[in-house]
Amino acid sequence: MGVWPQQTMHAGSLGMWPPPQLPAGGMGMWALQQTPAAFESAQSAAHQIHFTPHYFQALVPAGPVLPAWPAEPWLELSNEQMLARNAQQIGGSSSSVPPPGEGTATLTSNSIIDVWADTSREAFAYIERLLKRDSKAKFMVGFDSEFAVPDGVKSSPREPASADLHYTQLCSAANGGDLIQVGFAIADDEFNVHGAWQFNLYFDPSWRLPGHEGIDFLRGVGFNLEEHARRGIPVANFVHWLWSSGAIANGSLTWVTFMGYPDFGLLVRLLMGKELPESRKEFLTWFWQLFPRSYDVRVFSKLGKGRKEIIHGGLAKVCEKLKAGAIGKAHHAGSDALTALLCLAKMVNQDPEFAELMSRFCAVLYGVDTLTDSSAFGLEC
Protein backbone atom coordinates (compact mmCIF):
# COMPACT_ATOMS: atom_id res chain seq x y z
CA MET A 1 0.00 0.00 0.00
CA GLY A 2 2.91 2.37 0.52
CA VAL A 3 2.39 5.47 2.66
CA TRP A 4 -0.77 5.43 4.77
CA PRO A 5 -3.37 8.02 3.73
CA GLN A 6 -4.31 10.99 5.83
CA GLN A 7 -7.07 10.35 8.34
CA THR A 8 -9.70 12.68 9.75
CA MET A 9 -10.03 12.05 13.48
CA HIS A 10 -13.08 12.88 15.56
CA ALA A 11 -12.77 14.24 19.08
CA GLY A 12 -12.70 11.45 21.62
CA SER A 13 -11.16 8.87 19.31
CA LEU A 14 -8.91 6.25 20.84
CA GLY A 15 -5.83 7.34 18.97
CA MET A 16 -4.54 6.58 15.51
CA TRP A 17 -5.92 3.46 13.88
CA PRO A 18 -4.01 1.74 12.45
CA PRO A 19 -1.05 2.92 14.57
CA PRO A 20 1.58 5.17 12.96
CA GLN A 21 4.18 2.40 12.76
CA LEU A 22 2.70 -0.09 10.33
CA PRO A 23 4.43 -3.22 9.07
CA ALA A 24 4.78 -3.88 5.38
CA GLY A 25 1.44 -5.09 4.07
CA GLY A 26 -0.71 -2.31 5.54
CA MET A 27 -3.90 -2.64 7.56
CA GLY A 28 -4.57 -6.32 6.91
CA MET A 29 -1.15 -7.53 7.98
CA TRP A 30 -1.16 -5.17 10.97
CA ALA A 31 -4.53 -6.47 12.18
CA LEU A 32 -3.51 -10.11 11.90
CA GLN A 33 -0.43 -9.48 14.05
CA GLN A 34 -2.37 -7.99 16.97
CA THR A 35 -3.53 -9.67 20.15
CA PRO A 36 -7.33 -10.00 20.43
CA ALA A 37 -7.43 -7.21 23.03
CA ALA A 38 -5.37 -4.83 20.90
CA PHE A 39 -7.45 -5.63 17.82
CA GLU A 40 -10.71 -5.02 19.74
CA SER A 41 -9.39 -1.64 20.88
CA ALA A 42 -8.44 -0.79 17.31
CA GLN A 43 -11.88 -1.80 16.04
CA SER A 44 -13.48 0.54 18.58
CA ALA A 45 -11.24 3.39 17.50
CA ALA A 46 -12.01 2.71 13.84
CA HIS A 47 -15.64 3.68 14.40
CA GLN A 48 -14.53 7.29 14.79
CA ILE A 49 -12.20 7.50 11.83
CA HIS A 50 -13.04 8.54 8.31
CA PHE A 51 -10.50 7.67 5.66
CA THR A 52 -10.01 10.37 3.03
CA PRO A 53 -11.01 9.76 -0.62
CA HIS A 54 -7.62 8.40 -1.71
CA TYR A 55 -7.86 5.52 0.79
CA PHE A 56 -7.37 2.29 -1.19
CA GLN A 57 -6.52 4.40 -4.25
CA ALA A 58 -4.45 1.55 -5.65
CA LEU A 59 -7.40 -0.83 -5.41
CA VAL A 60 -10.58 1.22 -5.72
CA PRO A 61 -11.37 3.44 -8.73
CA ALA A 62 -12.46 6.97 -7.90
CA GLY A 63 -16.04 7.23 -6.73
CA PRO A 64 -18.23 9.10 -4.25
CA VAL A 65 -17.11 8.96 -0.63
CA LEU A 66 -19.55 9.29 2.24
CA PRO A 67 -19.07 12.10 4.74
CA ALA A 68 -17.30 11.35 8.01
CA TRP A 69 -18.99 8.71 10.12
CA PRO A 70 -21.61 10.47 12.25
CA ALA A 71 -21.56 10.57 16.04
CA GLU A 72 -24.00 8.88 18.37
CA PRO A 73 -27.58 9.76 17.23
CA TRP A 74 -27.89 7.17 14.47
CA LEU A 75 -26.50 4.47 16.76
CA GLU A 76 -29.25 5.26 19.27
CA LEU A 77 -32.08 4.21 16.95
CA SER A 78 -34.08 1.29 18.29
CA ASN A 79 -34.31 -1.88 16.21
CA GLU A 80 -37.91 -1.02 15.34
CA GLN A 81 -36.95 2.52 14.25
CA MET A 82 -34.09 1.11 12.19
CA LEU A 83 -36.34 -1.34 10.38
CA ALA A 84 -39.05 1.25 9.77
CA ARG A 85 -36.51 3.70 8.39
CA ASN A 86 -34.94 1.10 6.11
CA ALA A 87 -38.37 0.00 4.90
CA GLN A 88 -39.38 3.58 4.12
CA GLN A 89 -36.20 4.10 2.11
CA ILE A 90 -36.42 0.87 0.12
CA GLY A 91 -40.20 0.61 -0.12
CA GLY A 92 -40.42 -2.70 1.75
CA SER A 93 -42.21 -3.88 4.85
CA SER A 94 -40.84 -2.89 8.24
CA SER A 95 -41.85 -6.29 9.57
CA SER A 96 -40.07 -8.30 6.88
CA VAL A 97 -36.93 -8.79 8.96
CA PRO A 98 -37.23 -9.39 12.71
CA PRO A 99 -35.30 -7.39 15.31
CA PRO A 100 -32.38 -9.26 16.87
CA GLY A 101 -33.44 -12.07 19.15
CA GLU A 102 -36.98 -12.51 17.84
CA GLY A 103 -36.34 -15.55 15.65
CA THR A 104 -37.13 -16.21 12.01
CA ALA A 105 -39.91 -14.31 10.28
CA THR A 106 -41.81 -15.64 7.28
CA LEU A 107 -39.16 -15.06 4.66
CA THR A 108 -40.15 -13.39 1.39
CA SER A 109 -38.26 -11.50 -1.31
CA ASN A 110 -38.87 -8.37 0.78
CA SER A 111 -36.82 -9.96 3.56
CA ILE A 112 -33.67 -9.13 1.60
CA ILE A 113 -32.89 -5.46 2.19
CA ASP A 114 -31.24 -3.62 -0.70
CA VAL A 115 -28.62 -1.28 0.74
CA TRP A 116 -27.24 1.72 -1.16
CA ALA A 117 -24.97 4.56 -0.08
CA ASP A 118 -27.87 6.62 1.23
CA THR A 119 -29.17 3.77 3.43
CA SER A 120 -25.87 2.14 4.34
CA ARG A 121 -25.33 3.75 7.73
CA GLU A 122 -28.58 2.41 9.11
CA ALA A 123 -27.83 -1.09 7.79
CA PHE A 124 -24.28 -0.99 9.15
CA ALA A 125 -25.54 0.06 12.59
CA TYR A 126 -28.26 -2.58 12.66
CA ILE A 127 -25.86 -5.42 11.81
CA GLU A 128 -23.31 -4.22 14.36
CA ARG A 129 -25.98 -4.14 17.06
CA LEU A 130 -27.06 -7.63 16.09
CA LEU A 131 -23.53 -9.06 16.21
CA LYS A 132 -22.49 -7.26 19.38
CA ARG A 133 -25.62 -7.50 21.51
CA ASP A 134 -24.32 -10.59 23.32
CA SER A 135 -20.62 -11.39 23.55
CA LYS A 136 -21.44 -15.09 24.00
CA ALA A 137 -23.79 -15.35 21.02
CA LYS A 138 -22.75 -17.33 17.96
CA PHE A 139 -23.98 -16.55 14.46
CA MET A 140 -24.09 -18.13 11.01
CA VAL A 141 -23.43 -15.67 8.16
CA GLY A 142 -24.45 -16.65 4.66
CA PHE A 143 -22.16 -14.83 2.23
CA ASP A 144 -22.16 -14.31 -1.52
CA SER A 145 -20.98 -11.64 -3.93
CA GLU A 146 -21.36 -10.52 -7.51
CA PHE A 147 -18.33 -9.07 -9.23
CA ALA A 148 -16.73 -8.15 -12.54
CA VAL A 149 -13.48 -9.82 -13.51
CA PRO A 150 -10.83 -7.78 -15.37
CA ASP A 151 -11.10 -7.32 -19.13
CA GLY A 152 -9.64 -10.26 -21.00
CA VAL A 153 -10.39 -12.85 -18.31
CA LYS A 154 -12.73 -15.46 -19.77
CA SER A 155 -14.82 -18.01 -17.92
CA SER A 156 -14.23 -21.68 -18.63
CA PRO A 157 -16.99 -24.27 -18.97
CA ARG A 158 -14.72 -26.79 -17.26
CA GLU A 159 -13.75 -26.69 -13.63
CA PRO A 160 -9.98 -26.55 -12.97
CA ALA A 161 -8.50 -29.97 -12.29
CA SER A 162 -6.51 -29.15 -9.16
CA ALA A 163 -6.43 -26.82 -6.18
CA ASP A 164 -3.45 -24.96 -7.65
CA LEU A 165 -5.28 -24.39 -10.94
CA HIS A 166 -8.35 -23.23 -9.02
CA TYR A 167 -6.16 -20.72 -7.25
CA THR A 168 -4.56 -19.52 -10.49
CA GLN A 169 -8.08 -18.90 -11.82
CA LEU A 170 -8.98 -17.06 -8.61
CA CYS A 171 -5.97 -14.74 -8.85
CA SER A 172 -6.77 -13.82 -12.44
CA ALA A 173 -10.31 -12.87 -11.40
CA ALA A 174 -9.62 -11.21 -8.04
CA ASN A 175 -6.49 -9.20 -8.83
CA GLY A 176 -8.04 -6.39 -10.84
CA GLY A 177 -11.63 -7.52 -10.33
CA ASP A 178 -14.36 -5.34 -8.80
CA LEU A 179 -16.94 -6.29 -6.21
CA ILE A 180 -20.36 -5.02 -7.30
CA GLN A 181 -22.71 -6.50 -4.73
CA VAL A 182 -22.15 -8.29 -1.40
CA GLY A 183 -24.83 -10.32 0.35
CA PHE A 184 -25.01 -11.26 4.02
CA ALA A 185 -27.73 -13.42 5.62
CA ILE A 186 -27.39 -13.68 9.39
CA ALA A 187 -28.85 -16.41 11.58
CA ASP A 188 -28.23 -17.69 15.09
CA ASP A 189 -26.52 -21.04 15.59
CA GLU A 190 -29.90 -22.79 15.29
CA PHE A 191 -30.46 -21.23 11.84
CA ASN A 192 -33.13 -18.76 12.95
CA VAL A 193 -32.65 -16.03 10.35
CA HIS A 194 -32.43 -12.49 11.70
CA GLY A 195 -31.98 -10.66 8.42
CA ALA A 196 -30.55 -10.58 4.92
CA TRP A 197 -28.89 -7.63 3.21
CA GLN A 198 -27.32 -7.00 -0.15
CA PHE A 199 -24.85 -4.13 -0.27
CA ASN A 200 -24.72 -2.44 -3.65
CA LEU A 201 -21.21 -1.11 -4.18
CA TYR A 202 -19.97 1.71 -6.35
CA PHE A 203 -19.16 0.45 -9.84
CA ASP A 204 -19.09 2.23 -13.17
CA PRO A 205 -19.77 -0.13 -16.10
CA SER A 206 -17.57 2.06 -18.31
CA TRP A 207 -14.61 0.55 -16.45
CA ARG A 208 -15.08 -2.52 -18.66
CA LEU A 209 -14.88 -2.82 -22.42
CA PRO A 210 -18.13 -3.24 -24.40
CA GLY A 211 -19.23 -6.85 -24.63
CA HIS A 212 -17.67 -7.84 -21.30
CA GLU A 213 -19.09 -11.30 -20.55
CA GLY A 214 -19.67 -10.68 -16.84
CA ILE A 215 -21.29 -7.27 -17.35
CA ASP A 216 -23.66 -8.69 -19.95
CA PHE A 217 -24.55 -11.53 -17.57
CA LEU A 218 -25.30 -9.18 -14.67
CA ARG A 219 -27.49 -6.99 -16.86
CA GLY A 220 -29.28 -10.12 -18.03
CA VAL A 221 -30.22 -11.14 -14.47
CA GLY A 222 -31.55 -7.70 -13.63
CA PHE A 223 -28.66 -5.52 -12.46
CA ASN A 224 -28.97 -1.79 -13.13
CA LEU A 225 -25.27 -0.97 -13.19
CA GLU A 226 -25.92 2.70 -13.89
CA GLU A 227 -27.63 2.80 -10.49
CA HIS A 228 -24.44 1.40 -8.95
CA ALA A 229 -22.51 4.28 -10.52
CA ARG A 230 -25.05 6.75 -9.12
CA ARG A 231 -25.90 5.38 -5.67
CA GLY A 232 -23.36 2.66 -4.92
CA ILE A 233 -21.52 2.42 -1.60
CA PRO A 234 -17.85 3.40 -1.97
CA VAL A 235 -15.83 0.22 -1.60
CA ALA A 236 -13.41 1.87 0.84
CA ASN A 237 -16.29 2.73 3.16
CA PHE A 238 -17.62 -0.82 2.99
CA VAL A 239 -14.21 -2.31 3.80
CA HIS A 240 -13.72 0.21 6.60
CA TRP A 241 -17.03 -0.84 8.12
CA LEU A 242 -16.16 -4.54 7.87
CA TRP A 243 -12.95 -4.00 9.82
CA SER A 244 -14.72 -1.99 12.51
CA SER A 245 -17.86 -4.14 12.73
CA GLY A 246 -16.37 -7.02 14.67
CA ALA A 247 -17.13 -9.48 11.87
CA ILE A 248 -13.53 -10.02 10.77
CA ALA A 249 -11.27 -12.53 12.59
CA ASN A 250 -14.23 -13.37 14.81
CA GLY A 251 -14.41 -16.97 16.01
CA SER A 252 -18.05 -16.52 17.05
CA LEU A 253 -19.15 -16.18 13.41
CA THR A 254 -19.44 -19.13 11.05
CA TRP A 255 -19.45 -18.11 7.40
CA VAL A 256 -21.53 -20.16 4.95
CA THR A 257 -20.99 -20.04 1.19
CA PHE A 258 -21.58 -22.08 -1.94
CA MET A 259 -18.31 -22.43 -3.89
CA GLY A 260 -17.18 -19.36 -2.02
CA TYR A 261 -13.54 -19.08 -3.04
CA PRO A 262 -14.11 -16.34 -5.67
CA ASP A 263 -16.20 -14.32 -3.20
CA PHE A 264 -13.71 -14.69 -0.38
CA GLY A 265 -10.83 -14.05 -2.78
CA LEU A 266 -12.04 -10.60 -3.77
CA LEU A 267 -12.97 -9.72 -0.20
CA VAL A 268 -9.64 -10.92 1.23
CA ARG A 269 -7.78 -8.84 -1.35
CA LEU A 270 -9.62 -5.69 -0.26
CA LEU A 271 -9.33 -6.44 3.45
CA MET A 272 -5.59 -7.02 3.17
CA GLY A 273 -5.09 -3.99 0.93
CA LYS A 274 -2.87 -5.88 -1.50
CA GLU A 275 -3.11 -8.36 -4.34
CA LEU A 276 -3.51 -12.04 -3.55
CA PRO A 277 -0.19 -13.82 -3.00
CA GLU A 278 1.34 -16.19 -5.53
CA SER A 279 1.21 -19.02 -3.02
CA ARG A 280 -2.13 -20.79 -2.61
CA LYS A 281 -1.21 -21.86 0.93
CA GLU A 282 -0.33 -18.29 1.87
CA PHE A 283 -3.75 -17.18 0.64
CA LEU A 284 -5.41 -19.90 2.71
CA THR A 285 -3.51 -18.70 5.77
CA TRP A 286 -4.85 -15.18 5.18
CA PHE A 287 -8.35 -16.57 4.69
CA TRP A 288 -8.32 -18.70 7.85
CA GLN A 289 -7.05 -15.82 9.95
CA LEU A 290 -9.71 -13.43 8.63
CA PHE A 291 -12.52 -16.01 8.59
CA PRO A 292 -11.57 -18.71 11.13
CA ARG A 293 -14.88 -20.59 10.92
CA SER A 294 -16.64 -21.37 7.64
CA TYR A 295 -18.51 -24.03 5.71
CA ASP A 296 -18.74 -24.33 1.94
CA VAL A 297 -21.98 -26.07 1.00
CA ARG A 298 -20.42 -27.36 -2.22
CA VAL A 299 -17.99 -29.47 -0.17
CA PHE A 300 -21.05 -31.34 1.09
CA SER A 301 -23.20 -31.32 -2.06
CA LYS A 302 -20.73 -32.14 -4.83
CA LEU A 303 -18.04 -33.97 -2.84
CA GLY A 304 -20.57 -35.67 -0.58
CA LYS A 305 -18.50 -35.10 2.54
CA GLY A 306 -20.43 -36.18 5.62
CA ARG A 307 -23.52 -36.95 3.52
CA LYS A 308 -25.18 -40.08 2.22
CA GLU A 309 -25.76 -38.66 -1.27
CA ILE A 310 -24.09 -36.34 -3.74
CA ILE A 311 -26.04 -33.50 -5.34
CA HIS A 312 -24.64 -32.37 -8.67
CA GLY A 313 -25.20 -28.89 -10.06
CA GLY A 314 -25.14 -25.32 -8.88
CA LEU A 315 -26.80 -23.59 -5.97
CA ALA A 316 -30.27 -23.56 -7.57
CA LYS A 317 -30.14 -27.31 -8.21
CA VAL A 318 -28.95 -28.07 -4.68
CA CYS A 319 -31.65 -25.84 -3.23
CA GLU A 320 -34.32 -27.59 -5.31
CA LYS A 321 -33.10 -31.06 -4.34
CA LEU A 322 -33.06 -30.19 -0.64
CA LYS A 323 -36.40 -28.34 -0.87
CA ALA A 324 -34.70 -25.44 0.89
CA GLY A 325 -36.90 -22.82 -0.78
CA ALA A 326 -34.92 -20.17 -2.66
CA ILE A 327 -35.90 -16.59 -1.82
CA GLY A 328 -35.33 -13.56 -4.02
CA LYS A 329 -33.61 -13.30 -7.39
CA ALA A 330 -31.00 -15.90 -8.28
CA HIS A 331 -27.53 -14.50 -9.01
CA HIS A 332 -28.16 -11.59 -6.67
CA ALA A 333 -25.87 -11.66 -3.66
CA GLY A 334 -28.52 -11.33 -0.95
CA SER A 335 -30.62 -14.15 -2.36
CA ASP A 336 -27.67 -16.48 -2.95
CA ALA A 337 -26.25 -15.79 0.52
CA LEU A 338 -29.59 -16.62 2.11
CA THR A 339 -30.07 -19.69 -0.10
CA ALA A 340 -26.64 -21.09 0.85
CA LEU A 341 -27.53 -20.64 4.51
CA LEU A 342 -30.91 -22.34 4.09
CA CYS A 343 -29.32 -25.24 2.19
CA LEU A 344 -26.91 -25.93 5.04
CA ALA A 345 -29.79 -25.68 7.51
CA LYS A 346 -31.72 -28.31 5.52
CA MET A 347 -28.71 -30.65 5.48
CA VAL A 348 -28.31 -30.32 9.24
CA ASN A 349 -32.01 -30.70 10.04
CA GLN A 350 -32.61 -33.62 7.67
CA ASP A 351 -29.68 -35.75 8.83
CA PRO A 352 -28.57 -35.84 12.48
CA GLU A 353 -25.51 -37.87 11.51
CA PHE A 354 -24.42 -35.16 9.09
CA ALA A 355 -24.82 -32.56 11.82
CA GLU A 356 -22.22 -34.46 13.83
CA LEU A 357 -19.83 -35.03 10.92
CA MET A 358 -19.86 -31.58 9.30
CA SER A 359 -17.43 -30.05 11.78
CA ARG A 360 -14.67 -32.19 10.25
CA PHE A 361 -14.90 -29.97 7.19
CA CYS A 362 -14.79 -26.64 8.97
CA ALA A 363 -12.90 -23.98 6.98
CA VAL A 364 -12.52 -26.21 3.91
CA LEU A 365 -12.82 -23.81 0.98
CA TYR A 366 -14.07 -25.75 -2.02
CA GLY A 367 -11.69 -25.77 -4.97
CA VAL A 368 -8.60 -24.13 -3.49
CA ASP A 369 -8.35 -26.38 -0.40
CA THR A 370 -7.06 -29.95 -0.79
CA LEU A 371 -9.10 -31.03 2.27
CA THR A 372 -5.85 -31.61 4.16
CA ASP A 373 -4.77 -27.95 4.17
CA SER A 374 -7.33 -26.79 6.73
CA SER A 375 -6.81 -29.76 9.05
CA ALA A 376 -3.06 -29.13 9.01
CA PHE A 377 -3.73 -25.55 10.10
CA GLY A 378 -5.47 -26.87 13.22
CA LEU A 379 -8.86 -25.24 12.68
CA GLU A 380 -11.90 -26.33 14.65
CA CYS A 381 -15.61 -25.51 14.45
C-alpha–C-alpha distance, residues 94 and 225, integer Å: 27
The phi-psi region of residue 37 (left if phi > 0; otherwise alpha if psi is between -120 and 50; otherwise beta) is: alpha
Which long-range CB contacts under 8 A does 279-283 form with residues at least 24 apart?
280/163, 280/164, 280/167, 280/368, 281/373, 283/167, 283/170, 283/368
For 73-130, give the DSSP string. GGGG--HHHHHHHHHHHHT--TTSSPPTTS------GGGEEEE-GGGHHHHHHHHHHH
- If you count DSSP H runs as helices and E runs as strands, how many of each does the chain have, helices first? 15, 8
CA atoms within 13 A on the CB side of 195: 28
DSSP-derived secondary structure letter, 234: P
The gap from C-alpha 126 to its chain's centroid, in whole angstroms, comes to: 16
Q: What is the pLDDT of residue 80?
A: 45
Closest-CA residue to 145 (of 25, 301, 268): 268
115-to-119, 201, 359 alpha-carbon distances in Å: 6, 9, 33
pLDDT, tens digit only, all 381 positions of the chain: 222 222 222 222 222 223 233 334 444 444 444 444 444 444 343 333 333 222 333 333 444 444 333 333 333 344 444 444 444 433 333 333 333 333 344 566 568 999 999 999 999 999 999 998 888 899 999 999 999 999 999 888 788 899 999 999 999 999 999 999 999 999 999 999 999 999 999 999 999 999 999 999 999 999 999 999 999 999 999 999 999 998 999 999 999 999 999 999 999 999 999 999 999 999 999 999 999 999 999 999 988 888 888 999 999 999 999 999 888 899 999 999 999 999 999 999 988 889 888 999 999 999 999 877 666 555 666
pTM of the model: 0.75
Q: What is the pLDDT of residue 374?
A: 64
Please say whether the dihedral angle defined by the alpha carbons of residues 235, 363, 137 and 134, taken in this order, is positive or negative.
negative
The pairing of strands 7-9 and 178-188 is unpaired
For 262-310, give the DSSP string. HHHHHHHHHHHTSPPPS-HHHHHHHHHHHS-SEEEHHHHHTS-TTSSS-
Q: What structural domains does the chain harbor?
A: 9-49 (no CATH), 66-377 (3.30.420.10)
